[in-house]
Structure 1
């Protein structure tokens, strides 16, 4: 196979014309016949016993052309494209121009190529890195969580119901003197102040005692989900059967000993403060990186083929489907639950896919500009982790994974660190304000 011509026909689109000589085409036809002959039946011959000439006479001279041409393309075109120094981002579209045993094959391939990328700014990016101070209030919240986890529910019979109590009630609702569907329950547990019932319902139970029977009057909200009840007044007959309250333990050394690995409150507080400080630092670092990465996305200059976004959406959906399978659900069932069709579902991934493609291209370009590449030791170290995780040898891993892609991934990771290392912390920047300005700019552009 030889490359006859290479012509740029559009942005990111190259048309390649290839020629296969008659001898190579003839050899490919013979291989196609040998692969297929056991399945071929010709009248007057046992299955698989008809010669190639007989088969071609019966089915037509070009009976093996398609498989022969496809095998030539699959076997030889990747190297031909590589020799043409093209990086493709989609499967080429093939069109056979001519094919016969005397002259061989000529075909053209329409190739979508990786776009040229310009990243105008990637050194000295200014970004905020605000590490939140850990306050006494933060520690108090952690204390409250421990008390909540170790609280117990106790019955109360010496006082009326209060907000935050759990009450056990029988109730029945009436509209215009008539009971309505769904308005009745017995032994129903309700935490007062939770907002579980319509406004006014829970507040009117406060102050009543066990054994009391009483009525409360409420009005359903105008936007109530059951339209036949929306905006209408109702009366509920209530019987209060029980009152329970939450009893919280004392926060002291004894509680800490019983519930944590520490012996004293002071030890626990010191550790929790350190943990919260580490979390604050991690969160700030993550927000710092996210800001920088979004800056790169916003400053990528390129005409990016739509197929790259489509392929990324496909990948994200495959990952999502895999996650659903682990939960015992199919994508079809998920779409039924959410009321979406596949087109609208794909649309939910579009923005993320576009951002990820832009960022990847930007980082690959930065790696190229800065000659960023992993060392052999770094490559082997990363591969060894893969090998250990899969109980394989390093050599087996190298044979089984696409090494070019793996090395590119490492380049991208190193490019991220390069950009972060060269960024400048500027806490005068309001990241929320930047996002608002970006949205306003997009609206103005539209």
Structure 2
């Protein structure tokens, strides 16, 4: 077999392949065997029909077509390996010449992973938010914990601010009760802002059995965004009581003996959260700067597929679960279709560039993923998916997605490596040292950052090992 490669552009090549006819022998034998099992000829046992009879009865062309279809992936893969290219997606194959007994010639055009030169990134400098936890932040955290331990006591009086009321709701649009506009026994804390605009004023002053009607714009459901006439009936009123902020509360709500110890722990937790947010912010901004200084050609077909995938997933998964279509979504977002397409393309380009650049860094720095890192990533992915680690691991194995997870961790390590090499300062002008962070935590955070950018992007290389 002879092959040659022609570069059409930085992301696409054409392979020209010439195959001597004798190299089709195995595929021809397989074609005759397959046809033998599918047809019957009077006077011959099934599977024992001579090749010359098959040629006479069904045509040599049918055999050749079957043989070529069987052989093409093998010859294409051999040409890819000989050319030492990294194909993306499926090739466009064109048989240019097929002479029975002489030769098979074909061309294959395919997108390839572009050659990327990673520039010197040591001069990158980014600014992140300073870590500042105020007394008010600590008080708010303790107050939120206190709210979780609130108790309610039924009262026979009109509802007031902070009371918990049990209500029935009925929403009408254009005089018609909505199918999903009726709810009974809803528990609502007055002033929480968790339901409809205007409901607080409607229920305040009502005792059990009282009802009121008000107009509000619906926040969800089949008539989302429309003004509805809402009737609310109060069926019960309860007074909400918060525990005293003292040592007894600390012992009730935590493992600490005193309120001061509880506050000190809240300060520590808030600081750790701010540190994590700061590290994530640094990773995001460093990645932005790295993409700016790195030239990355984008394969057209890959970009088209990525845009289609993102649009399909939005329409049929995210919006489908919300019960709205793309037109409604754009109306809610206040975007035109053109703006949506432009934003989707921009996100797709960024996702592809991120994967290409970080993958190149993985190769350049010879970064490997160990079992501990993969297990940690799997545990986090399982938690975010709502599945148990065992269930998630089984789904990953069954879906052949282990290489995808390995790639995510490796890209996280690549991004973490870049962040360690650049200058990060906070808004107070202080240098931020991210080396003190736990290495596994840093890698995992970087993997999440890269994953957030790449989204659904998972550039797939085909043909090199598994055939076309």
TM-score with structure 1 setting the length: 0.70
* Alignment-derived partner of residue 278 in structure 1: 272
Cross-structure match for 2:366: 373
Render the CA deviation track for 1:168-188: whole Å, top value 9, x for unaligned: 689999xxxxxx766999998
Residue pairs, 1:262-301, within 5 angstroms = 262-301=256-295
Match of 2:354 among 355, 359, 379: 359
CA distance in 2, matches of 1:295, 1:61: 61
SS in 1 for 2:105: strand
Shift of 1:47: 3.4
Instruction: State the distance in 2 between where 1:137 and 1:11 align.
Output: 56
- Say if 2:142 and 2:266, in contact at 8 Å, map to a contact too: no
Structure 2 portions without partners, runs of 5+: 328-336, 380-388, 391-396, 430-468
Q: Are residues 35 and 126 of structure 1, via their aligned partners in 2, closer, same or farther at CA, if it must alter by over 3 Å?
A: same
* Cα distance change on mapping 1:228 and 1:72 into 2, 3 Å: closer
Q: Deviations over 1:100-140 (max 9, x none)?
A: 33212111111222223355552221112324312211111
Partner of 2:299: 305
1:165 aligns with 2:151: no
RMSD: 4.7
CA contact (8 A) 2:215 2:228 kept: no
Instruction: Give 1:91 deviation, angstroms.
Output: 1.6
Partner of 1:70: 69
Query: What SS does the corresponding residue of 1:93 show, helix, strand or coil?
Result: strand
Q: Is the 8 A contact 1:95 1:108 kept in 2?
A: yes
> What is the CA-CA distance between 1:96 and the residue it aligns to?
0.9
Match of 1:132 in 2: 131
The offset of 1:425, in angstroms, is 1.4
Give the alignment of 1:404-443 within 5 angstroms. Answer: 412-428=411-427
Decide which moves more: 109-118 or 90-99: 109-118
Q: Distance in 2 between matches of 1:429 and 1:57?
A: 87
Equivalents in 2 of 1:205, 1:402: separation in Å? Answer: 54
User: What residue in structure 2 maps to residue 248 of structure 1?
Assistant: 242
Distance (Å, rounded) in 1 between the aligned partners of 2:155 and 2:101: 100
CA radius of gyration, larger in: 1
Secondary structure of the structure 1 residue equivalent to 2:359: helix
- Displacement after TM superposition at 1:305 (Å): 0.8
Question: What is the match of residue 20 of structure 2?
Answer: 21
Residue 67 of structure 2 aligns to a residue whose secondary structure is helix
Deviation at 1:54, TM superposition (A): 0.5
CA distance in 1, matches of 2:165, 2:321: 39
Question: Is the CA contact 2:129–2:427 (under 8 Å) kept in the aligned structure 1?
Answer: no
> In structure 1, which of residues 333, 339, 342 is the aligned counterpart of residue 325 of structure 2?
339
* Aligned counterparts of 2:311 and 2:53: Cα–Cα separation in 1: 49
C-alpha separation in 1, matches of 2:121 and 2:303: 23
- Counterpart CA distance in 1 for 2:421 and 2:359 is 17
**1:442 maps to which residue?**
none
Q: Does 184-193 or 410-419 show the bigger shift? A: 184-193
The whole-number CA distance in structure 1 between the counterparts of 2:208 and 2:6 is 90
- 1:187 and 1:218 mapped to 2: Cα distance? 19
Q: Which has the higher contact order (CA 8 A, sep 6+)?
A: 2
Q: CA deviation at 1:247?
A: 0.8
Paired residues for 1:175-214 under 5 Å: 191-193=189-191, 196=195, 199=198, 202-203=200-201, 206=204, 208=205, 210=207
Q: What's the counterpart of residue 102 of structure 1?
A: 101
Q: State the 1:242 CA deviation.
A: 5.4
What is the aligned length?
Answer: 389
Task: Go from structure 1 to structure 2 and tell me whether the alpha carbon gap of 1:407 and 1:269 turns closer, same or farther (over 3 Å shift).
Answer: closer
TM-fit CA distance, 1:239: 9.0
Matches for 1:208-227 after TM superposition, within 5 Å: 208=205, 210=207
SS in 2 for 1:97: strand
Alignment CA distance shift 1:429-1:366 (3 Å): farther
Tell whether the 8 Å contact from 2:374 to 2:409 is kept in structure 1 after alignment: no
Q: What aligned pairs does 1:76-91 form with structure 2 within 5 A after superposition?
A: 76-91=75-90
Taking structure 1 as reference, are residues 93 and 225 closer, same or farther at Cα in structure 2, changes over 3 Å only? closer
Q: Matched residues in 1 for 2:169 and 2:69: separation?
A: 75
Q: Is the 1:372–1:411 Cα contact (8 Å) retained in structure 2? A: no
CA shift at 1:269, angstroms? Answer: 1.9
**2:386 corresponds to which residue?**
none
In 1, Cα distance between the equivalents of 2:21 and 2:182?
Answer: 86
- Secondary structure, in 3 states, of the residue corresponding to 1:106? strand
Unaligned runs of 5+ in 1: 174-179, 325-329, 391-396, 431-446
Gap change, CA 1:203 and 1:51, over 3 Å in 2: same
Distance in 1, Cα, partners of 2:202 & 2:378:
65
In structure 1, how many angstroms separate the alpha carbons of the residues matched to 2:324 and 2:5? 48
Cα separation, 1, equivalents of 2:8 and 2:169: 76
- Could you say what secondary structure the match of 1:128 adopts? strand
Instruction: Check 1:192–1:47 CA distance in 2 against 1; reply closer, same or farther (3 A cut).
Output: same
